[in-house]
Amino acid sequence: DSGVTQTPKHLITATGQRVTLRCSPRSGDLSVYWYQQSLDQGLQFLIQYYNGEERAKGNILERFSAQQFPDLHSELNLSSLELGDSALYFCASTSTGGNYGYTFGSGTRLTVV
C-alpha cells in the first residue's frame, strides 16, 4: 500500500457519459498530480493541485476538470466521454520542498464503450 488511494479501481461507462475519479493523497502530502496512461503511451501529465489550488496544467482536455478539497483529496471529472478516453488514470502525491519523487496510487482503469 503506497498510501495514495484511488477509487474506483475499474470503471466501465458509455460514450457521452460523465465520471468522477477520486484520489486520497498520502498523509501530509499537499501536492496531487493526475496522469493519464493510454495504451502504449507514457504517463501524460494532466493537472497538479497544491493545497487546494491549481498549480500546473498539462494536456488536459476541456471536457476534463479537477479539484482538490480542503481535506486534500482530489477528484478528476471526465465528461462527454469518448472511446479515446479509455486509459489508466493515475494520481500521485508529494510533500513540499524536495522529494525523491511522487508516490503513485494504483490507478483507475477507465473503459469507455
Partner 1 sequence: DQQVKQNSPSLSVQEGRISILNCDYTNSMFDYFLWYKKYPAEGPTFLISISSIKDKNEDGRFTVFLNKSAKHLSLHIVPSQPGDSAVYFCAASAGSSNFGNEKLTFGTGTRLTIIP
Q: Which residues bind partner 1 (CB under 8 A)?
A: 2, 4, 6, 31, 33, 35, 40-45, 48, 50, 55-56, 58, 90, 92, 94-107
C-alpha span between 65 and 70 (Å, rounded): 17
Grid coordinates representing 40 are 502504449
Shortest gap between Cβ of 7 and partner 1 (angstroms)? 13
Say whether 83 sits in a helix, a strand or coil: helix
Question: Which lies closer to partner 1 via its Cβ, residue 20 or residue 95?
Answer: 95
| 14 Cβ contact list (under 8 Å, min separation 6) | 81, 112, 113
Q: What angle do CA 47, 69, 71 make, to 5 degrees?
A: 125
Shortest gap between Cβ of 16 and partner 1 (angstroms)? 28
Shortest gap between Cβ of 43 and partner 1 (angstroms)? 4
Shortest gap between Cβ of 45 and partner 1 (angstroms)? 5
Question: Which lies closer to partner 1 via its Cβ, residue 18 or residue 56?
Answer: 56
Question: Which lies closer to partner 1 via its Cβ, residue 35 or residue 64?
Answer: 35
Question: Which lies closer to partner 1 via its Cβ, residue 78 or residue 107?
Answer: 107
For residue 67, which of 47, 82, 81, 88 has the smallest C-alpha distance? 47
